[in-house]
Amino acid sequence: MNIEHFIQSAEALHSRLADLYQTASVLPWIPPELLPQAFKELYSTSKMVQLAAEELYLQNEELIKTRNWLETERQRYQDLFEFAPDGYLITNAEGIIQQANLSAAQLLNVSRQLLVGKPIVNFVRLEERQPFRCELNQLCQTDRVRELVVRLQQNQGESFDAAFTVAVVRNQQGKVNSLRWLLRNINERQQKKTELINNGSDLIQDRPVHKHTKGESILLNPLV
């Protein structure tokens, strides 16, 4: 029985008891003092049940609103997590991947479904795994956000330099609940930076040159 049916049943019961009580009260051959005490108590209890049911209904409505709001917020943050431009991973204290967003899956060249349950150390270059394990153990000993630079190996792909920003999340007892990893490809960022510098140099070389009367070459519209 859901809350609405319960309220309807309580209201119907209270209405029937009220009718019976009023009928018994006006019967001329039954003195009021002879009305059964149990009947009076039952009527009073029914009134209390009705009031409690109404209060429960209001509380249930508030809970539904709160639940809907929380679900909306959860979905919003889930979308931010999924479609963030940088890679995000959530692992347990041992570095076992529990969640991964689309960017992380693309960086590691693995589907998100296959990433879940894999140790993050599996994607670290073989020669760097032991130092990485030491760093992983140290992460759980502090609450400070740590920055790590690691050489990662894509699944059946190339290796690349990655920058990790790692935050520790603890439960109320102070035990490590999860590790949150922000993952960026340093190689790609450096390549884009180099391309911007090269493009800037090309713009300078292509600018028209004005010959000053004293023989000085001056760029027209120099870069600021």
pLDDT in tens, the chain (224 residues): 566 666 666 666 667 666 666 666 655 555 555 555 546 666 666 667 777 777 877 888 888 888 888 888 888 877 877 888 899 999 999 999 999 999 999 999 999 899 999 999 999 999 999 999 999 999 888 888 999 999 999 988 889 999 999 999 999 998 999 999 999 999 866 655 555 555 555 544 555 554 545 555 444 444 44
Residues 93 and 75 in one domain: no
Say which residue the tokens 């009367």 belong to.
213
Q: What is the pLDDT of residue 189?
A: 62
Q: Indicate the number of domains in the chain.
A: 2
Q: What is the pLDDT of residue 52?
A: 75
Q: What is the pLDDT of residue 185?
A: 93
What is the amino acid identity at position 145? V
**9 within domain boundaries:** yes
Residues 42 and 89 in one domain: no
Residues 89 and 172 in one domain: yes
Residues 15 and 54 in one domain: yes
Domain boundaries, position 163? 85-185
Per DSSP, helices labelled H in the chain are 3-26, 37-82, 102-108, 112-115, 129-139, 186-206
Residues 102 and 173 in one domain: yes
Residues 65 and 115 in one domain: no
- The angle formed by the CA atoms of residues 22, 27 and 31, to the nearest 5 degrees, is 100
Which of 80, 96, 113 finishes a domain? 80
For residue 166, what are the CA distances in angstroms to 145, 169, 181? 6, 10, 5
**207 within domain boundaries:** no
**57 within domain boundaries:** yes
Residues 46 and 125 in one domain: no
Nearest to 139 by CA among 174, 176, 184, 172: 176
Nearest to 144 by CA among 124, 121, 165, 162: 165
What is the amino acid identity at position 200? G
Residues 173 and 89 in one domain: yes
Reported pTM: 0.58
Cβ-count burial of 94 within 10 angstroms (0-12 exposed, 13-18 middle, 19+ buried)? middle
Backbone angles phi, psi at 42, to 5 degrees: -65, -40
